[in-house]
Structure 1
Amino acid sequence: MQADISQLKDAVATPGSAVSRWAQYYALTKPKVVQLIVFCAFIGMVLAVPGVPGWQDWGRMLTACAGIWLVAAAAAAFNCLVERSIDARMKRTAWRPTARGELSHSRALLFSGVLCAAGAAILLLAVNALTLWLTLATFVGYAVIYTLVLKPLTPQNIVIGGASGAMPPVLGWAAMTGQVGHEALLLFLIIFLWTPPHFWALALYRAEDYRRAGLPMLPVTHGNAFTRLQVFLYTLVLFAGCLLPFVAGMSGYLYLFAAVILGLGFCGYGWALLRNYSDALARKTFRFSLVHLSLLFAALLVDHYLA
């Protein structure tokens, strides 16, 4: 992941080339974040289909993934536009083309609008109206409510705003069934509980960045020790939440085994972070959180076909 981001930064920083301009627009979409969003939506789609998907199912899945990708990318681009001055003050995001002033406001806004319109059209015409409206609600939740309202005002921004980030499996489920089942809500809950310890681990070792940007992230407003405690407590709650698909009969023992092992690993990182903090450990915790969610959902997928 770091290598991919470094290559993208290099391409963005190469002035005057077609590759550079393409890379600038591509960077606005936050590709790694959007890939995880689409992956979680795809898992929701597959789990919503009993048995092995047929060709028609696969066609619908690919179409829905394309529509969701476009709207998610539009939300990311809008976020980059709105937060350009904040990004410019943060080491982690100062390379973004909007932060560097390499893309005009009008171009970034037009790019976001085109992506959103294209994604919305695909979802409405080729998937279903419910998926369209849920996806647009997610766009508003992230790009407007989280970015413009919650993030600059409250240290609980990532907790409340995490609802929009937890929507992808619900979108996927709705795309295949035309409704929101309780199974989709369980997947929503898992991501909702996963988001705070994932993001606060990042915020811990980037605290000075957020302080310099004037954002009220938890390590800035409540300190390092309190944030570490919250990370650990959330990993415990997340551990319990990840067992719910098995308890509800949605998955089998393979998933249960993966959930326990991955959950213990995340709790272990949270405990180590609480006992003996270092930026390096916080970075490892953040990276493990990505592995945790990816493997957890992959285990759900494999278990679905082995059941």
Structure 2
Amino acid sequence: MPNDRRKTARRSLALLLAAAGCCAALAGCGAAPDPAAPPSDKAPGSRGPSASRTAPSTPAPASTAPENRSLAGRTVVVDPGHNPGNFQHSKEINQKVNIGTNRKECDTTGTSTEAGYAEASFTLDVSHRLRDLLVARGAKVVLTHDADRPWGPCVDERARIGNAARPDAVVSVHADGSAVGNRGFHVILPARVREGAADTAKIVGPSRELGERIADRFARATGTAPSNYLGGGTGLDVRDDLGGLNLSTVPKVFVECGNMRDPKDAKLLTSAAWRQKAAQGIAEGIATYLEG
């Protein structure tokens, strides 16, 4: 009968639709591919965009840029001025030692800021930062001390440590203790001395070049100006009364990073961020000197 045929047709259609829905939910149950369809750009077996959302992510490749190892094979001695324990050993550090031209105290306590931040703490901090920067460039770094002894070393021993390492350069890190209003950094160079145990003839020239490079890069890195009370605005000062320079047989300079007794300079010297810049400037000066 016509009504029965319509009912049968509707039931058949419902069964077909249900089967199609079930097939779509099962993997591999789709219709055969249409030969006229364009080829897929996916790899065989790809399940399309939905599969890419569940695939494990691939980490970004590591940078292949070469490290800056320009100082590989070079040796630098870093000499942190004074020692945090010196103030407890006045008898020892007041003993006189031969500095080449005469005799002078073994060492001193160094200066400090008005608030009590000691030069010996400052020099050790900057020296550590400087060491890390130089090592990152491939250099071998020798410290004359690392606060691993109760006092010293004496100035003559510091020179011997530097000479024995046979380095390409030696830098002694300091901060000055001048009058308020005296600001800025300066680099101390060895004078031409030939007297007693001192003979700086061979190191005067290269030490000046080292000092000039450090002064230039220090100013750039820290944004501070050369000393307004020493060196005539050049940031370079020549002295013949420092045993660490007189007794050195390798290029060596002292870097006075600023004046701890001036409140404006002291604010810089007590800033960890600024000390990092100071170390960066010294490191870049050493690097440009050694790289020629």
Q: Give the TM-score normalised by the residue count of structure 2.
A: 0.27
Bigger strand fraction:
2
Structure with the bigger percentage of helix = 1
Structure number with greater CO (CA < 8 Å, separation at least 6) is 2
TM-score, structure 1 as length reference: 0.26
